[in-house]
Structure 1
Amino acid sequence: MNAVPAAIAGAAVFTWLGMVLAISFLEAPLKFRAPGVTVALGLGIGRLVFRALNTVEAVLAVAVAVAVAAGSPGASVTALTAVAVLLLVVQLAAVRPVLNRRSDRVLAGEEAPRSRAHVVYIALELLKVIALIALGVTALATAV
């Protein structure tokens, strides 16, 4: 992969990775442990935070895809880019709507059972973290 696109892709990938780690694996679980944070309040905050995160993720995914496409990538960089982007698309198109419907019900005062979609979202986040680490390292390592 050419050096400048590889550097841009690497920077975008590791920024994306840092945001996912900070929000999904640090902020999200900790907010519910803060004193006075109810489930409804935590869900309301979480929806705002994840909407912002997902918007930035989409922008970074486009930046990565453009940089990779411009950089004469090898098959591994192309495949890892596709995996990371696909995982994000699945989260946004398939899992987030289910989670949003459940949080709407909880915020409306309904007692809703725990959602399996939440576990699916976390599993996809873990896979995305692995894909982003592999992509960032591979893109930078293959820079010509």
Structure 2
Amino acid sequence: MNSFAALVQEAGTFLWLGMVLAISFLEAPLKFRAEGITVPLGLGIGRLVFRALNRVELALALFAAAAAAVAPPGGWAIALLAVAGVILLVQVFVLRPKLDRRALQIIAGAPLPRSRGHLTYVGLEVGKVLVLAALGTVLVLERL
């Protein structure tokens, strides 16, 4: 693989990783600690932020897949990219719609018990972070 294509793939991977870390593990929990933020208000903000994040993630995943098609990395990188893509697809098309409907119910004032869906999403987010970190590392090592 040529070194420019490798650098582009690495940059895209680490950008994706950084966005997930910043939003999911920094912004999301901190917003609920801000003065004056209620659970319904925080959920409304979260719906917007995660919708935007997931759109950017999908674009970065497509970019990574296209870059891998143009300049194929090694087998481990392809496997890790596939795992990250599958995790993202499950989050966006299976879990987030359910969490979104639940958030709308809470925003409307419905008293709902705790949900396992949120914990599942967070667990997948942790897995995705680990996979993206491994992918970025593999790509860097392949280039050296």
Q: Distance in 2 between matches of 1:129 and 1:29?
A: 17
Contact 1:2 1:72 in 2 (8 A): no
Give the Cα separation in 1 of the matches to 2:104 and 2:75.
42
1:11 match:
11
8 Å contact from structure 1 (residues 6, 68) kept in 2: no
- Measured in 2, the distance between the counterparts of 1:85 and 1:141 equals 21
Q: Distance in 2 between matches of 1:73 and 1:29?
A: 35
1:4, distance to aligned residue in structure 2 (A): 2.0
Question: Which residues in structure 2 correspond to 1:108-127 (within 5 Å)?
Answer: 108-127=108-127
For 1:59, what is the secondary structure of its paired residue? helix
Which residue identity lines up with residue 90 of structure 1 in the other structure? V
Task: Give the corresponding residue for 2:67.
Answer: 67
Aligned to 1:102: 102
CA offset digits 1:48-73 (Å, max 9, x no partner): 11111111111111111111121122
1:138 aligned residue: 138
Q: Which runs of 5+ in 1 are unaligned?
A: none
Q: What TM-score do you get using the length of structure 2 for normalisation? A: 0.96
Output the TM-score relative to the length of structure 1: 0.96
CA distance in 1, matches of 2:55, 2:30: 22
Q: Distance in 1 between matches of 2:77 and 2:5?
A: 12
Runs of 4+ that moved beyond 4 A: none
The match for 2:76 is: 76
CA contact (8 A) 1:95 1:121 kept: yes
State the match for 2:25 in structure 1. 25
Q: Residue 142 of structure 1: SS of its match in structure 2?
A: helix
